[in-house]
Structure formats: C-alpha cells, structure tokens
Amino acid sequence: MFALSKLRRCWVIILVSGAVILWYATAYWRGVLMAHVNHTRGHYEMLGYGPPMSPEQQEKHALYVSEMRERYNVTYTWVAGCVVSSSLRSYVDGYNSVSRRLLLEAHDVNIFDQCRRLADEKWAVEHPED
C-alpha cells in the first residue's frame, strides 16, 4: 500500500511539473489565441510593458491611447513595468502581433501611425512652447 501511494505522488508531481513547464513554454501561443478570441468577441486591445515614462512621455502616451479608444475602440492595457518575466513578454508579443495585424486588416489606414500623428498634433497645440 505504501509503494502505491508513493507511486501516485510521483505521477502527480510529474504531471503538475509538466503542466507548469507547458504553461510557460506556450505563452506566445496563448497570447495569439487570446487575441483571436478577443477580436472575435469585438474586444480590441493592445498590451504594453516597460519602464516608467517621464511625465511628458506619459502625457503623450495618454493622448495616443485616447485617440485609439475614441476613433477605433481600441483599449491599451499596461501589464507590467520594469520587471517583465520572459513568459509575460512572450504572451504580450504574441497577443500584440495578432491584434496589430487584425486591426490593420480591419481598417484601410495604418491606425497606429494615424493616432500617433494626431496625438503629436494635439500635444503641439497644447504645448506650443516645446
């Protein structure tokens, strides 16, 4: 009876370890899948990560995000700051690669460049001294 219990415990440990490894190894493809699912549901989103921005960069980024949301119903979600795990980076990269492609295909114009240009124009109007 003791040997059987020990064998079960080994199998549980092996299965759980395999599932954890598989979870991290498939981060990119999970991101790809979720982007397809979200676009099918009509939820358009881009994900971001990286170090903190300066106040000026934050304000410019807020204008860009506002343009994306107002014109194309695209939300922008910041998922991590300075410290980004490799699996999260892979997930975000997979998600954004699909989301970006689908958004560009859905519109006849490069919405990212257009919103960046519009945000820059708003910034120039609001800050003429810069």
pLDDT-derived band at 130 (thresholds 50, 70, 90) equals: low
pLDDT digits (tens, 9 = 90+) for 62-119: 999 999 999 999 999 999 988 999 999 999 999 999 999 999 999 989 999 999 999 9
pLDDT at 5 (0 to 100)? 74
Residue 96 to residue 74: CA distance in whole angstroms: 12
pLDDT-derived band at 59 (thresholds 50, 70, 90) equals: very high
pLDDT at 3 (0 to 100)? 64
Residue 116 to residue 102: CA distance in whole angstroms: 18
pLDDT-derived band at 23 (thresholds 50, 70, 90) equals: confident
pTM exceeds cut of 0.85: no
Domain ranges of the chain: 28-126
pLDDT-derived band at 121 (thresholds 50, 70, 90) equals: very high
Which tokens hold the place of 90? 């892979």
Which tokens hold the place of 92? 């975000």
Extended strands (E) in 50-125: 74-80
pLDDT digits (tens, 9 = 90+) for 3-13: 667 778 888 88
